[in-house]
Amino acid sequence: MKNKMINLGAGVVLIAGLAVAPSAFAYDSAALTQSLVASPVSQRSATAADLVSKAAVAEKQAVAEAVVKAAIGLNPSATVDIVTAVAHQNPSVASAVAVAAANLQPKQLSAITKAAVAAAPSEVAKIVAALIKSSPKDYNLIATAAFQAAPSSSREILAAVAASVPSLQASIDNSLAGYAVNNVNLPVQSILDQVAAGAPQASTPIAPILSPVGSGVGAPFQPTGTPTVITTGTTESGGRGSYGQY
């Protein structure tokens, strides 16, 4: 009986070890890096994608982030290839992949956005929203890059920008009102440039401030009563010119 109990205990330990091993590996960046290092350089992007694919659903995002960081750490110049491979094979975590890559290589933000959207076009809204959350000041660059990769998703892209930057919601809605509802190929960058410049406010005319011709000092000229048409002409040197009669 004692031997049976010992064997049973050993079995429990073994089963427990098998149960936690995958989870331990998933979060062990050193182990992930080792797998990538062991892979041929030309195959590392594919290896990274495979490592993420093999992760359990509940762990896939964490594994994707760890794999992308490890792969880019080994070869920063392959960032776009890594994002493309991992996002294409694992579209559900494309947004996390894009953010992880952009945080490591911010100068490649535009290229990373294009790669992620092109690899997982069904996730365009999530990718745009996640990248803007990570880098809000670059919303225009992110949206424009996403549009270049998926022009038919322009409305989704603009909706993601509006949701991510609430202060732009009303302006974007007003801009979209000028386009047909079935128009899916909208000029994203142009619309966002207008919104950023505050185009609606710029349409308010500003009254000109008149100054007397030839006057070098004094307050701006303020005519009273009914103004007459002023005819300008050549004045003699040192003269003040003519302003008309009031």
What's the mean pLDDT in 126-139? 96
Give 72-100 pLDDT, tens digit per residue: 999 999 999 999 999 999 999 999 999 99
Residue 227 has pLDDT above 60, yes or no: no
What's the mean pLDDT in 124-133? 97
8 A C-beta contact, residue 93 and residue 61: yes
What's the mean pLDDT in 169-173? 88
Most confident of 21-35, 37-51, 183-197, 218-232: 37-51
Mean of the per-residue pLDDT values of the chain: 78
Please give the torsion angle defined by the CA atoms of residues 219, 223, 229 and 234, in that order, rounded to the nearest 10 degrees. -30
What's the mean pLDDT in 43-70? 93
DSSP 8-state assignment for residue 225: S
Give 11-39 pLDDT, tens digit per residue: 333 333 333 344 434 457 788 888 999 99
The model's pTM: 0.68
Which two tokens mark 103?
Answer: 């945080």
Tell me how far CA of residue 23 lies from CA of 14, 17, 27, 31, in angstroms: 15, 10, 7, 12
